[in-house]
């Protein structure tokens, strides 16, 4: 109550002050109006009296003059009247004022002196000794008098103005009463509003925060609901972030304490931050990739700008690392509104609601994009590295663009690195094979790593590329090259042997080219295993989520399979659909029960192969649906659009089985995301043996996606799997993903990179003696 009073006291004072001001203004206006009115009336009367008196001035003062004057004085509020000679002596005067105004007042003297009407308000008149004067306030209107066009004195009308004071006093009283009532009403209402609109929600927010602080939520209970409302939405957003951070920090601390206790060690964002701070001594981290972590798109319809997180394994993996380490991420600004949200240096801080690192955008023309991104990267290198039987296309003009864009990105990276001693660069993927050497040549003190997110084929396959030598040479500019699995490292070393002149050291997986040593290592990439289990964040159960999704999509099914992919010919989407068809034929009992929800983010659609593939996928889904569907049930629900991480998380939660059937994949993070999201230990993962993830997730049902029968059987096995078996497998896989999470990936890679720096110095010395001929 005291707090409420404290909050409304300034309001009371302000309302009272404003009301008082109004009252004062009203009184002043009232007084002015009444006085003007009186003056006007006096003027008319004065003229009348003047007309009657002036003809009588020719004669000596007589009773007529006195009679006229007295008759005039009978008007309302008129206290009296007088006629004065030029010396100021009263020639005729009404009795009521005779005692005080025998001699003319100032107004009359002025009227005679200036030959003009005069008005005067006189107050504080004291009664004379005889007590005749009981009037304390008068208005005197004086009019000059003429005789034969010469001034012959003045007449004066005396009005009693006490009625004005009485009226003004009434007005003042009414206004003050009004002001008082207003102050009471407004303050009362404000008090109520404050209590209802602010105090109650604030109290609930405080209660909510307290519940979080004392650990009510981590005890498994859902957090108490937060009050809604526009005013509070922003505050809630902030408080929610704060609470989430707090909860995460607590979960991390608890987890670390638990692991310390069991002797195990888990990498968390916080641990990575601390570890890098110690290892890198505040040296900033630079990341370069083609795909940016946040794209800004303009909505054609309403002109608004929407921010999206693109569907990309690189983004999924790198974002948590940047969040943990700050740093600068250099990437291609490819969103339609990207230009509009950067500063003069083409930079912006991201994520928008929790700015933690800098995104530096690099621009490309449409032609460059066609040559660098669509052409060389995705029609050349992508099919070259994936065994998916799509022929790579290498055009000389695309190669020119590829070199030019690598140079542009290298220059931007070098510009960003200016002033930083021994910077650390993590280059990403097949778009930037030439960049490591470009950076290293300009900044030998930089420690450069490149991570290849897709498979590396065998030397024979890679030899198809007309520029294999340049690509391998560019990569060997790095101090460290990372692949997902050992096989890709082996393939790379073989390719080096075939393509360039260098010393490959198989015993320690390093390449020495012209005295520069590049290490080649497997780093299986991963996801940030959520430190707070989704169920603790208030998620629905699998069943409830399934029902909600059915409702939203207007479908009917009691069992879901889920597939999440960019629509890419390497992902085995058609094989998956055909396996569903076969499964429903083999096990008709699952018809009208089981549906595959296939999230398909259209990808690289300006490339004919991708556009055609998207059409093929749609057609295949329609063909199979036409064969089986009844009522609101259909075997394949193809959701052809980009979905946010939050949306996808709901599908993972609702699914009985997740299908990852890539024909060839560097790692595939969907498999790991699904596992990480299933805190309920339920659900089965079907995983292609041709995805890098299969090396770690051996408790998935491993399949050859080309084998439709095997895949269809795996779906059946998954759907029939007892809950205990599901839980056992899921727990194992969760342990693997949790321990080998993205923070461990970054920590391993970056700590190897820092070690190499020391070795590189040693090698430089050795080079002087062993490889004098290659020192150029």
291 contacts ligand G6P (rule: CB under 6 A): yes
| Min CB(428)–ligand G6P separation in Å | 6
Residue (96 or 371) nearer to ligand G6P, CB = 371
| Min CB(308)–ligand G6P separation in Å | 12
Extract long-range pairs of 440-443: CB within 8 Å, 24+ residues apart: 440/477, 440/478, 440/479, 440/516, 441/477, 442/410, 442/414, 443/414, 443/417
454 contacts ligand G6P (rule: CB under 6 A): yes
549 to 568, contacts with ligand G6P by CB under 6 A? 566
| Min CB(571)–ligand G6P separation in Å | 10
| Min CB(566)–ligand G6P separation in Å | 6
Residue (425 or 454) nearer to ligand G6P, CB = 454
Q: Give the single-character DSSP code of 647.
A: H
Residue (360 or 453) nearer to ligand G6P, CB = 453
Residue (402 or 594) nearer to ligand G6P, CB = 402
Sole binder of ligand G6P in the list 160, 374, 416, 429 (CB under 6 A):
429
State the binding string over 218-237 for ligand G6P (x if CB under 6 A, else -).
Answer: --------------------
313 contacts ligand G6P (rule: CB under 6 A): yes
Residue listed under structure tokens 């940016």: 292
565 to 584, contacts with ligand G6P by CB under 6 A? 566
Query: Among 31-39, 270-278, 306-314, 404-412, which window interacts with ligand G6P (CB under 6 A)?
Result: 306-314
604 contacts ligand G6P (rule: CB under 6 A): yes
Residue (101 or 432) nearer to ligand G6P, CB = 432
Task: Enumerate the H helices of 554-701 as residue ranges.
Answer: 573-586, 608-628, 645-654, 669-677
Residue (454 or 756) nearer to ligand G6P, CB = 454
| Min CB(568)–ligand G6P separation in Å | 8
- CB proximity list for 193: less than 8 A, separation 6 or greater: none
Using CA atoms, how far apart are residues 510 and 683, in angstroms rounded to an integer? 41
| Min CB(599)–ligand G6P separation in Å | 15
450: left (phi over 0), alpha (psi -120 to 50) or beta: beta
Residue (160 or 429) nearer to ligand G6P, CB = 429
| Min CB(234)–ligand G6P separation in Å | 33
**What tokens does 341 get?**
């949200």
State the binding string over 196-215 for ligand G6P (x if CB under 6 A, else -).
Answer: --------------------
In order, the DSSP letters of 557-598 are: -SEEEEEEEES-TTS-HHHHHHHHHHHHHH-GGGTTTEEEEE
**What tokens does 499 get?**
């393509």
Using CA atoms, how far apart are residues 343 and 337, in angstroms rounded to an integer? 13
Extract long-range pairs of 239-245: CB within 8 Å, 24+ residues apart: 239/205, 239/208, 239/209, 241/353, 241/354, 243/208, 243/209, 243/212, 244/532
496 contacts ligand G6P (rule: CB under 6 A): no
How far from 707 is each of 572, 624, 661, 703, 704, CA to CA, in Å? 11, 18, 11, 8, 5
Using CA atoms, how far apart are residues 273 and 752, in angstroms rounded to an integer? 16
Residue (94 or 603) nearer to ligand G6P, CB = 603
| Min CB(314)–ligand G6P separation in Å | 4
| Min CB(313)–ligand G6P separation in Å | 3
Query: Among 310-318, 322-330, 494-502, 554-562, which window interacts with ligand G6P (CB under 6 A)?
Result: 310-318
State the binding string over 237-276 for ligand G6P (x if CB under 6 A, else -).
Answer: ----------------------------------------
Angle at 168 between CA 165 and CA 174, to 5 degrees: 140
Q: Which residues pair with 306 in a beta bridge?
A: 297
312 contacts ligand G6P (rule: CB under 6 A): yes
Using CA atoms, how far apart are residues 151 and 135, in angstroms rounded to an integer? 30
| Min CB(603)–ligand G6P separation in Å | 5
Compute the radius of gyration of the chain from its Cα atoms: 46
Q: Mapping DSSP to helix (H, G, I), strand (E, B) and coil, where does residue 318 land? A: helix
Using CA atoms, how far apart are residues 426 and 437, in angstroms rounded to an integer? 13
Residue 626, number of CB atoms within 10 A of its CB:
9
Query: Among 73-81, 150-158, 213-221, 307-315, which window interacts with ligand G6P (CB under 6 A)?
Result: 307-315
Task: Enumerate the H helices of 194-312 as residue ranges.
Answer: 200-213, 230-262, 269-280
Count of residues interacting with ligand G6P (CB under 6 A): 10
Q: Which residues pair with 520 in a beta bridge?
A: 481
Contact 295, 311 (CB under 8 A): no
Burial label, 126 (beta-carbon count in 10 A; 0-12, 13-18, 19+)? exposed
Residue (46 or 436) nearer to ligand G6P, CB = 436
Using CA atoms, how far apart are residues 565 and 573, in angstroms rounded to an integer? 8
603 contacts ligand G6P (rule: CB under 6 A): yes
Query: Among 44-52, 197-205, 312-320, 707-715, which window interacts with ligand G6P (CB under 6 A)?
Result: 312-320
Residue (191 or 322) nearer to ligand G6P, CB = 322
Using CA atoms, how far apart are residues 424 and 287, in angstroms rounded to an integer? 9
672 contacts ligand G6P (rule: CB under 6 A): no
154 contacts ligand G6P (rule: CB under 6 A): no
| Min CB(290)–ligand G6P separation in Å | 6
Residue (46 or 692) nearer to ligand G6P, CB = 692
Q: Roughly how many angstroms between the first and final C-alpha of the chain, as a whole number?
A: 82
Residue (310 or 683) nearer to ligand G6P, CB = 310
Residue (465 or 691) nearer to ligand G6P, CB = 691
Using CA atoms, how far apart are residues 199 and 191, in angstroms rounded to an integer? 10
Sole binder of ligand G6P in the list 314, 364, 579, 687 (CB under 6 A):
314
Q: Give the single-character DSSP code of 773.
A: G
Residue (401 or 513) nearer to ligand G6P, CB = 401
Residue (164 or 687) nearer to ligand G6P, CB = 687
Sole binder of ligand G6P in the list 79, 453, 488, 592 (CB under 6 A):
453
| Min CB(312)–ligand G6P separation in Å | 3
Residue (429 or 473) nearer to ligand G6P, CB = 429
Query: Among 308-316, 360-368, 479-487, 751-759, which window interacts with ligand G6P (CB under 6 A)?
Result: 308-316
Task: Give the distance between the most distant pair of CA atoms in the chain.
Answer: 146
DSSP E strands, 255-387:
285-288, 295-298, 305-308, 328-332, 347-350, 357-362
Residue (56 or 454) nearer to ligand G6P, CB = 454
| Min CB(637)–ligand G6P separation in Å | 23
| Min CB(479)–ligand G6P separation in Å | 21
Residues near ligand G6P (CB under 6 A) are 291, 312-314, 429, 453-454, 566, 603-604
């Amino acid at each position: 109550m005291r707090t409420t009073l404290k909050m409304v006291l300034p309001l009371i004072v302000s309302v009272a002050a404003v009301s008082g001001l109004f009252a004062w203004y009203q009184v002043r206006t009232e007084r002015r109006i009444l006085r003007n009115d009186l003056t006007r009336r006096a003027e008319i009367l004065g003229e009348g009296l003047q007309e009657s008196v002036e003809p009588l001035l020719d004669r000596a003062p007589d009773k007529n003059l006195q009679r006229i004057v007295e008759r005039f004085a009978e008007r309302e509020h008129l206290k009296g009247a007088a006629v004065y000679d030029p010396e100021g002596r009263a020639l005729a005067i009404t009795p009521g004022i005779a005692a005080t105004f025998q001699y003319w007042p100032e107004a009359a003297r002025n009227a005679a002196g200036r030959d003009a009407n005069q008005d005067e308000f006189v107050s504080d008149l004291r009664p004379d000794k005889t007590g005749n004067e009981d009037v304390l306030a008068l208005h005197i209107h004086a009019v000059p008098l003429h005789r034969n066009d010469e001034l012959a004195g003045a007449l004066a009308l005396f009005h009693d103005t006490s009625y004005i004071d009485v009226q003004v006093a009434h007005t003042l009283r009414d206004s003050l009463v009004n002001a008082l009532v207003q102050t009471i009403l407004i303050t009362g209402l404000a008090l109520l509003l404050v209590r209802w609109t602010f105090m109650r929600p604030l109290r609930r927010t405080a209660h909510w925060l307290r519940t979080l602080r004392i650990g009510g939520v981590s005890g498994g209970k859902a957090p108490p609901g937060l009050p809604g409302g526009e005013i509070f939405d922003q505050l809630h957003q902030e408080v929610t972030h704060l609470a989430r951070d707090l909860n995460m920090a607590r979960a991390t601390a608890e987890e670390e304490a638990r692991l310390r206790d069991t002797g195990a060690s888990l990498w968390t964002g916080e641990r990575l931050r601390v570890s890098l701070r110690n290892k890198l001594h505040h040296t900033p981290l630079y990341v370069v990739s083609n795909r940016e972590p946040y794209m800004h798109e303009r909505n054609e319809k309403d002109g608004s700008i929407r921010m999206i997180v693109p569907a990309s394994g690189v983004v999924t993996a790198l974002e948590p690392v940047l969040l943990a380490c700050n740093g600068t991420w250099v990437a291609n600004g490819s969103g339609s509104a990207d230009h509009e949200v950067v500063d003069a240096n083409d930079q912006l801080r991201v994520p928008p609601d929790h700015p933690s690192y800098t995104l530096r955008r690099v621009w490309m023309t449409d032609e460059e994009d066609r040559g660098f991104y669509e052409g060389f990267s995705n029609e050349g290198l992508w099919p070259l590295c994936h065994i998916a039987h799509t022929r790579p296309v290498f055009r000389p003009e695309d190669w020119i663009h590829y070199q030019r864009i690598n140079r542009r990105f290298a220059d931007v990276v070098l510009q960003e690195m200016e002033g930083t001693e021994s910077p650390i660069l993590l280059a990403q993927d097949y778009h930037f094979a030439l960049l490591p050497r470009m950076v290293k040549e300009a900044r030998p003190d930089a420690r450069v790593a490149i991570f290849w997110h897709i498979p590396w084929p065998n030397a024979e396959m890679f030899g198809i590329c007309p520029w294999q030598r340049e690509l391998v040479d560019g990569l060997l500019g790095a101090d460290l090259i990372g692949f997902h699995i050992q096989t890709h490292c082996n393939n790379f070393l073989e390719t080096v042997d075939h393509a360039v002149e260098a010393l490959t050291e198989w015993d320690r997986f390093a390449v020495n080219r012209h005295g520069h040593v590049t290490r080649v290592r497997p780093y299986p990439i991963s996801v940030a295993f959520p430190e707070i289990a989704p169920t603790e964040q208030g998620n629905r159960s699998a069943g409830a989520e399934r029902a909600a999704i059915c409702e939203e999509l207007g479908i009917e099914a009691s069992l879901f399979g889920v597939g999440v992919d960019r629509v890419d010919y390497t992902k085995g989407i058609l094989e998956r659909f055909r396996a569903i068809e076969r499964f429903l034929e083999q096990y008709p009992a699952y018809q009208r029960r089981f549906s595959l929800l296939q999230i398909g983010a259209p990808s690289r659609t300006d490339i004919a192969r991708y556009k055609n593939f998207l059409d093929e996928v749609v057609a295949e889904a329609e063909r199979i649906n036409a064969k089986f569907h009844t009522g609101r049930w259909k075997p394949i629900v193809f959701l052809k659009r980009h979905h946010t991480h939050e949306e996808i998380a709901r599908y993972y939660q609702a699914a009985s089985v997740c299908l990852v059937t890539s024909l060839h994949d560097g790692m595939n993070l969907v498999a790991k995301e699904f596992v990480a999201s299933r805190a309920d230990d339920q659900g089965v993962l079907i995983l292609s043996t041709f995805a890098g993830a299969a090396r770690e997730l051996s408790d998935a049902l491993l399949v050859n996606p080309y084998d439709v029968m095997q895949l269809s059987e795996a779906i059946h096995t998954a759907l029939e799997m007892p809950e205990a078996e599901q839980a056992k497998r899921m727990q194992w896989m969760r342990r693997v993903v949790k321990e080998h999470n993205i923070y461990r990936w970054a920590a391993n890679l970056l700590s190897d990179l820092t070690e190499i720096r020391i070795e590189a110095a040693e090698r430089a010395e050795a080079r002087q003696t062993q490889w004098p001929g290659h020192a150029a």
